[in-house]
Structure 1
Amino acid sequence: MPGLRTIARSTFVCALLLKTFLVAVGIPGALYDPDLYTDRCQKCWVAAGSRPAFINTMQKLSTLPSFPCSAFSHVYTCFETVGLQGYYCGRCHHYVNVSLRVCPNHGQFTQYIPDPQWTEQGGTA
């Protein structure tokens, strides 16, 4: 039954696209607890007014299962690896990298990188 295979394949591809590119309620995306972020995202959380509204401002970009802690901590003798989740905050126009696991030596990290296109256009974040 070629039609059934096509439907199954299309459903699978749609599910992958939704999981990869969308951040909405019920779809894994931004971490739910604003305390896991620093002050900048907590301000965006308050401005959004609700958890779903905040989650919808955080666009999920990439997941790296094994990222060197030394890239965050700048302690080049640390050989631990952590997972890394990348987001883009549409409210404050920053890229946000969050470590998914805690380094036993340095803890959990959150990194903010201003969007160069936004700052070049004179936006403030």
Structure 2
Amino acid sequence: MTLTRRQFTLAGLGAAGIAAAPALRAAGYPDRPIVFICPWSPGGTADTTMRALCQAASKDIGQSIVVENKAGASGMIGLRAMANAKPDGYTIGQIPISVTRFSQLGTVKLDPMTELTYIARVSGQTFGTA
């Protein structure tokens, strides 16, 4: 089954509010701007890609999505900001696989499997060795 861009966007953003589903049904999500945390510096590839995604999603849902860059510490600053945000679907962000390894290395006290809610896969990369 092939999803349209609109279906994918709505499904991903709608999934962000699953933890607060009862409140969201009553409030009419989204009824205020959404904050998107990008854990990288402005102007880079990840930032440019995420801004394009947020711009398209904003048009589809009829609500502003504000990109906040929280760069530094190899992505840990943005990761911590997402983990500390209220789980109401109004703060979402980009988490590359490399950032999820920090908990396993002991550099950040966070379990991405239980403390973050996965919304959607945006891109993929395959690496090989020879």
Structure with more contact order per residue of length (Cα contacts < 8 Å, sep ≥ 6): 2
1 or 2, which has the higher helix percentage? 2
TM-score by length of 2: 0.27
1 or 2, which has the higher strand percentage? 1
Larger radius of gyration: 1
